[in-house]
Amino acid sequence: MGSGFGRLVVIAGIATALASSGCAHFVCPARGGPPWRELRTAHFSLLTDLSSSDAHDLARELELTHAVITRALPAAAADASDSIRVVAFAREREYQQFAPEHAGAYYTLSKFGEPTIVLPGSIGREQRAVLAHELTHHIQHRVFARLPGWAAEGLATYMETLGTGSGPHPQAELGGVPKWAHVVAVRSAWSMARVLGRDATIDSHEAYATSWALVHFLMNAPDERFNALLRRFGAGEDGRSAWLAVYPEWDPDQPGGVDELDRAVHLYLRSGRYRSHVVEPTAPGTPGTERPLASAAVHDITLMLERYLPGDEGRTAEVEEALSEDPTSVGAITALAIRRDPRALELARSAAAAHREDFRPWLLLDMLLPVGEPRAHELVLRRAAAAPGATYVAFQALARFYYDQGRAAEGLPLALEATARAPWSDGASDTAAVLLRALGRCAESAVFTRHALEVLRESAEPSFRAGLVERLRQLQTCREGARPPAPSGEKRSNIP
């Protein structure tokens, strides 16, 4: 089923993380490192070893960036109030242990599906561009029911220039021109059909730059049609039908259908007449509650991040150090589970008993319990989905479990909840599509399959993409109400 299995989503990337380095330079508080704190604001959970004063300054900047993007996004009427984890390292050398090469900051999902931004303690131009781009994506997913790839990436790149202007309020100035995007868009001279077409994928520098050029052009058009288009996306309208309803003169799937649009965009790019504007957001609230973090909690944070230095000795030592401080450390137990350490199962049971409101130990138990015990798997997955902080991963895993047991009707509400929590997840949409097809609801399955293709990750396996395309083809001739043979409790390996 491609990347859809809930437990595979949980594990995705952990093996890489645990095969990489350890704690060569990182020193936890218990070993003499600086104290860590958590600062919770309206939209962020800032986890950092910055001083209290610097942490509050960073939190205010994060909230301001969030406020500007929310205010600037056309048609952004919904509330994007869920919390984003931000891990900020005060020292550059420690940040570099957890950062991909040449990344001034980056956005990732935690191993259990929690959105996470990782950055050094000070935000410069590069960090602000990454922060603005990724926060735009995060907010988009919560304010637009559907957003085709060109619009999502074009808007996110448009926001990259936040804070780089020269106006009276540079942090709130938008509409500049990212040099890389302008250069690539002008040199590539792609037709807009390459990003607007029915089967378009945004998977190259040229596609990103062309998406930015189209959004910049439409945002600065004298009419209000782009806002009307985004309102249609906000209401969940299909990308193609929404586009043709607003721009009927530009049909990307007809030969020559966007020739006039191409000429207009490329002329616009070469004109150099770009408008920027200052967005006056509602003043962000005062950063909220602050609390110190114990050394064991710091290990739980760092062990859930990938390491980018060679060798495994430091990471192994950190796992043992974390367990000595807290035998129920979820980060450390996750590391043991991936290594197939025989201690992992009993430690996961202890962690679930100690942290009954934490969904992560219950998902670990699903990974570790013998595959031939479906009742036990159902119980722990139900506990995971019922926990207060459960992410879409828990709902997707339980939905897939019910599908594998031939109980698609029980799994469907959970799959739909996963897509509601993570509309950007190709795996969540794929899971919903699979369950809908199992129930004979062909038209709805096609909608979710098409959406999975729209949001497909660049790193997705080609075989997964091919499977979605083939399912979509089959659904075109699927007879509504006809059900395929149901799975009969297929056996799955918990740990790949």
Which residue range forms the structural domain that includes residue 245?
A: 177-275
Q: Report the alpha-carbon distance of residue 374 to residue 485 in Å, rounded.
A: 20
Domain presence at residue 58: no
Residues listed for the chain: 496
Give me the average pLDDT of each 10-residue run along the chain (496 residues): 34 37 59 91 94 92 86 62 86 87 86 90 84 88 83 91 60 77 85 86 87 92 90 86 95 93 92 76 69 93 78 74 93 90 96 94 95 94 95 96 96 96 90 96 93 79 90 91 74 42
DSSP state of 309: S
Q: What are phi and psi of 204, to 5 degrees?
A: -155, 165
Q: Is 410 left (phi over 0), alpha (psi -120 to 50) or beta?
A: alpha
Q: Where are the alpha helices (DSSP H) in 355-425?
A: 359-368, 374-386, 392-404, 408-421
H or E, element range at 467: helix 462-475
Amino acid in the structure at residue 13: G
List residues bridging with 37 in a β-sheet: 48, 292
Residue type, 443: A
Closest CA to 250 of 191, 189, 187, 184: 191
pLDDT of residue 488: 63
- Name, in order, each residue with C-beta under 8 angstroms of 135's C-beta and a sequence gap of 6 or more: 65, 66, 69, 84, 117, 159
For 250, list phi and psi in degrees, rounded to 5: -120, 90
Assess if residue 184 is contained within a domain. yes
202 is a domain residue = yes
Q: Look at residue 314 in the predicted model and tell me its pLDDT.
A: 59
Residue 446 lies in a domain: no
Q: Provide the number of structural domains found in the chain.
A: 1
119 forms beta bridges with 88
Q: What confidence score (pLDDT) does residue 494 get?
A: 43
Instruction: Please indicate, yes or no, if residue 83 is contained in any of the structural domains.
Output: no
- Determine, yes or no, domain membership for 221: yes
